[in-house]
Amino acid sequence: MAKYYIDSCVWFDHIRNRAGFGGRRLGDVASKLFLKLLKENSIILYSELTLKELRKCFADEEINSSLGIILALGLLEKAKVAADELEEAAKLAKTRKVPFGDALHAIIARNNDAIMVSPDKHFELLKDIVDYKRPEDLIWLSNPSL
């Protein structure tokens, strides 16, 4: 069973049904990704960092509503963050010049044998740390007509 660690921005796109530059339907892409992963019975990982980032814009009720279906299907797992992962992320962020949060997300995904899913270009700088895919890559792999 495949595991995917979903970056907070993908959750944002899904919850808010956001559009990007030029009207690109980021919310549609995120929703299609979640549907694909659920159909495949893939494990979707999140962490306290994910929740912290989501709480900047959403109430707990809205977050819980978004996580609820995945949780009810038994496909949602919360990854724990260890002190040594925080230390590694701080060093990685400094040496690679990426945001601390992105470095920590990458380390959490790696340490949980999960594929990191994000449209964020910072993860290109971390590809040697974690298997990284953009949401579109995962959707198009299964349905090139999208």
Handedness of CA 140, 16, 112, 36 (dihedral sign): negative
22 pLDDT band (50/70/90 cuts)? low
Residue 141, pLDDT > 50, answer: yes
CATH number at residue 26: 3.40.50.1010
Per-residue pLDDT of 129-138, as tens digits, reads: 999 999 988 9
Residue 36's domain spans which residues?
3-142
Rounded to the nearest angstrom, the gap between the alpha carbon of residue 104 and the centroid of all alpha carbons in its chain is 12
Determine the length of the chain: 146
Per-residue pLDDT of 59-107, as tens digits, reads: 888 888 888 888 888 899 999 999 999 999 999 999 999 999 999 999 9
Q: How far is CA 27 from CA 7, 32, 34, 49, 52, in A?
A: 14, 9, 11, 21, 20
Q: How many domains does the chain have?
A: 1
The DSSP bridge partners found for residue 3 are 43
Distance separating alpha carbons of residues 118 and 70, to the nearest angstrom = 18
